[in-house]
Amino acid sequence: MLTRVGVKMIILKIGGSIITEKDSKEPKVDYKNLNRICNEIKESFSTENINADLMDGLVIVHGAGSFGHPPASEYKIGQPFPNEEFPEKRIGFAKTQSAVKELNTYVCNALIEHGLPAVSMQVSSFVTTSDKRIYDFDLEFIKNYLNNGFIPVLYGDPVLDEKYKMAILSGDQILQYIARFLVSDRVVLGTDVDGVYDKNPKTHDDAKLIEEVSSIEEIIQVESTTNIDVTGGMVGKVNELLSLAEIGVDSEIINANRPGAIGDALQNKKVKGTKITKK
Amino acid sequence: MLTRVGVKMIILKIGGSIITEKDSKEPKVDYKNLNRICNEIKESFSTENINADLMDGLVIVHGAGSFGHPPASEYKIGQPFPNEEFPEKRIGFAKTQSAVKELNTYVCNALIEHGLPAVSMQVSSFVTTSDKRIYDFDLEFIKNYLNNGFIPVLYGDPVLDEKYKMAILSGDQILQYIARFLVSDRVVLGTDVDGVYDKNPKTHDDAKLIEEVSSIEEIIQVESTTNIDVTGGMVGKVNELLSLAEIGVDSEIINANRPGAIGDALQNKKVKGTKITKK
């Protein structure tokens, strides 16, 4: 069983833009970042003790990056469609599922090569949504893996949806759901920016980092939603995290491109970023 | 929705020895066989009609071949172990899961390239075993995919086991479970031999094909169990199929290396092989 330094259970989200070359035409893993992050995770844990009685451990959720976004966008998965387009949509669903699964294999292999017992969980095998929100998600299997000392690795995936027939279930929504119902102690989101800004930091030199966010109104008007993706970008992310803060689970958005940031956050050290918390 | 020629629902098992080069040191896909089989599947179906009300379709189950067997054997997944070996076993479980998932990606991609809406289902995400037998398997998700016209693709996978902590859930057991509880109309197993023989056909020129098997005693003494693998070989296969025959679901073992055999079987044509049926 993993014994963590100072905390009980952490959920770590690794953004797709961190572990893939998001602007690459072909799906491409960013192995430099991926291996560095695996090292930081490895160094934050001791895997020597075995204690299968405690629910104590790490869950990793990763995004889709240059693997999932191109087919999901091309086939407009999650948008309404007439019935005659169903055959084509099915192929789009299948292609998207296969692409994100491929990325997940690379992520799990990298974790395993670093000695971490990463076990993949494919949400499209056991989760459905209704109006794009999780409707049916049996957490017993994640708990079972955690209780046996594994690190479950989940990822954004296309799923069947009651209203839209199919939808993209984002890593952020998965994270929010797991953190809520497994009552996570801490939630860390590694993104490609330092956190939430008052302006778009990629286009404004005077953009200021917002160290704490307690309501969506604080950020909805600002231009900081640069990393817009098919799963909703920063506003979507913060919305998921605010719903967690409501029930007392705080989270922090940090820059996973900074060497050491994820390691420090896992070890509960102070890291530059935005904390999402209830006032 | 897929409309099949003449039947309601078929489960097709494709042996790992057919779609991988089983004796290869490195995991290797046999693309010649895989693409040929995808073609035969494609030609057996019309994907033009859409009728999401019928539970009508195809489920594919594939084996692990040169992907899954090496790590499963190396780490002896499914054998009892002392608690201090748990960390190493976890790594073995993770490696095996990742390897079979990789093969599944290649299989799904080949099906998708042939225009078939193949959706992967990872049983280790939602199935556990007890004493190596399926204990907990929610079939609603397979049904949901079938009802929406997808082809669910499942595969042998390591799972958590109540007694042995972990076990290999074979494709044959998955097939048996699905066929039983979804009440499959037909079950076709594509292997690397023509069926069940009275002697090992690979070493005996005078081996005779047994066209019909109704009890395990008929084959238990014969030498025909050449393709022994960690999931039980031909005896294990026939045992699973006999338990299906008991409830009235017949199955046939055919040679998937013969061009056209799978296509003919899917189209309900007479194919050389062994029928497993109740007398």
For every residue of chain B, which 3-state class applies, written as one string? CCEECCCCEEEEEECHHHHECCCCCCCCECHHHHHHHHHHHHHHEECCCCCCCCCCEEEEEECCHHHHHHHHHHCCCCCCCCHHHHHHHHHHHHHHHHHHHHHHHHHHHHHHHCCCCEEECCHHHCEEEECCEEEEECCHHHHHHHHCCCEEEEECEEEEECCCEEEEECHHHHHHHHHHHCCCCEEEEEECCCCEECCCCCCCCCCCEECEECCCHHHHCCCCCCCCCCCCHHHHHHHHHHHHHHCCCCEEEEECCCCCHHHHHHCCCCCCEEEECCC
ipTM for the assembly: 0.91
CB contact under 8 A, B109 and A98: yes
- CB of A145 less than 8 A from some CB of B: yes
Task: Report the residue of chain A nearest B118, measured CA to CA.
Answer: A94
Q: Give exposure, A34-51, as e/b (b: 16+ Cβ within 10 Å).
A: bebbbebbbebbebeebe
* CB-closest option in B90, B125, B150 to A141: B125
pLDDT for res A108? 98
Measured at the CA of A181, the angle between CA A176 and CA A185, to 5 degrees, comes to: 75
For an interface test with B, give the residue of A42, A126, A174 to mutate (most B CBs within 10 A). A126
CA distances from A97 to A104, A167, A251, B53 (A): 11, 11, 28, 24
**How far is A40 from A242, CA to CA, in rounded Å?**
27
- Backbone CA torsion sign across B98, B100, B106, B111: negative
Distance from CA of A18 to the nearest CA of B (A): 21
DSSP 8-state code for residue A173: H
CB contact under 8 A, A83 and B50: yes
CB contact under 8 A, B125 and A128: no
pLDDT for A259-268, tens place per residue?
999 999 988 8
CB contact under 8 A, A120 and B109: no
B198 C-beta neighbours (distance < 10 Å), count = 17
SS3 A148: coil
pLDDT for res A204? 77
- Chain B residue numbers with beta carbons less than 8 Å from the beta carbon of A94 are 108, 111-112, 117-119, 150
pLDDT for A181-240, tens place per residue?
988 888 999 999 898 887 777 777 888 889 999 988 877 665 444 444 444 467 878 888
CA distances from B45 to A275, B96, B110, B250, B261 (A): 54, 33, 16, 21, 15
Low-confidence ranges of chain A (pLDDT < 70): 1-7, 46-56, 220-233
- pLDDT one digit per residue (tens) for chain B, 279 residues: 444 444 478 999 999 999 999 778 899 999 999 999 999 999 887 654 434 333 468 999 999 999 999 999 999 999 999 999 999 999 999 999 999 999 999 999 999 999 999 999 999 999 999 999 998 899 999 999 998 999 999 999 999 999 999 999 999 999 999 999 988 888 999 999 898 887 777 777 888 889 999 988 877 665 444 444 444 467 878 888 999 999 999 999 999 999 999 999 988 889 999 999 998
Q: Which tokens belong to A161?
A: 């949806």
* CB-closest option in B97, B120, B141 to A98: B120
CB contact under 8 A, A93 and B138: no
- CB of B148 less than 8 A from some CB of A: yes
pLDDT for res B45? 76
pLDDT for res A138? 93
pLDDT for res B143? 92
B35 C-beta neighbours (distance < 10 Å), count = 16
- Chain A residue numbers with beta carbons less than 8 Å from the beta carbon of B141 are 125-126, 128
Task: Report the residue of chain A nearest B116, measured CA to CA.
Answer: A91
- CB of A119 less than 8 A from some CB of B: yes
